[in-house]
Homo-oligomer: A and B are copies of this chain.
Amino acid sequence: MTDFGIDPTDQRILTILQKEGRLSNADLAERVNLSASACHRRVQHLERGGYITGYVALVNPRKVGRKTTVYVEITLNGQADETLDAFEKAVARVPDVLECHLMAGTADYLLKVVAEDAEDFARIHRRHLAKLPGVQTLQSSFSLKTVRQTTALPI
C-alpha cells in the first residue's frame, strides 16, 4: 500500500531522518541494519530523487521573540491569473509569512504568520499584509496555544 518507489528500508530511513536530521550515517546504518556504505548510498538516492528536500535546524520561536501565531484568511478582488500571480509573488517576500496556501471555498488564501506579539502583528498587518496587491479583505485568527507542531509526515 505504501510504496511510491521506495522500499521499507527507505521508509525507515525517511522516518528516522524526519526526526533526527543530523544523525550520523554510521548510526543510521546501524538502526536500519545496513553497512555504512549501503546506507549512505540509499540516503544519497533519497536526496537526489527529491524525497529529501533539505535539512533544517528547528528554532524555538519563543526564544527568538516570536510568541504569536496568527492565521490570516485573505480574499482578493478578482480571480484573474495576473491578480493571483502578483499576490503570490509579493506574499512570498514577507518573511513573517511562514505558509501561504491557495484555498478552495470562499477565502482565497490562508496565511500562517509569526509575530512577536499582537502589537507586532498589527504592524505586519498594516505595513505588509494590507499592502499586498489585490487584497480585498483580511480576516485574522489568533492562536492561543500550539497543541501540536511537527514537520514529520506519516510514512
Residues of A in contact with B (beta carbons under 8 Å apart): 2, 4-6, 14, 17-22, 49-61, 63-66, 69, 71, 88, 91-92, 95-105, 107, 109-110, 114, 141-155
A46 to B64 CA separation, bound complex (whole angstroms) = 11
User: In the complex, what residues of B have CB within 8 A of residue A14's CB?
Assistant: 57, 59, 64
- The residue that A153 contacts in the complex, of B5, B49, B53, B66, with Cβ under 8 A, is B66
Q: Are B61 and A153 in contact (CB under 8 A)?
A: yes
Q: Are A55 and B147 in contact (CB under 8 A)?
A: no
Q: Are A18 and B59 in contact (CB under 8 A)?
A: yes
Can you give 22 contacting A-B residue pairs, CB < 8 Å?
A2-B64, A6-B64, A17-B57, A18-B58, A51-B64, A52-B58, A52-B60, A54-B58, A55-B55, A55-B57, A56-B56, A58-B151, A59-B155, A66-B153, A66-B154, A91-B147, A97-B148, A98-B150, A98-B151, A99-B150, A103-B143, A103-B144
User: In the complex, what residues of B have CB within 8 A of residue A51's CB?
Assistant: 59-60, 63-64
Q: Are B103 and A21 in contact (CB under 8 A)?
A: no
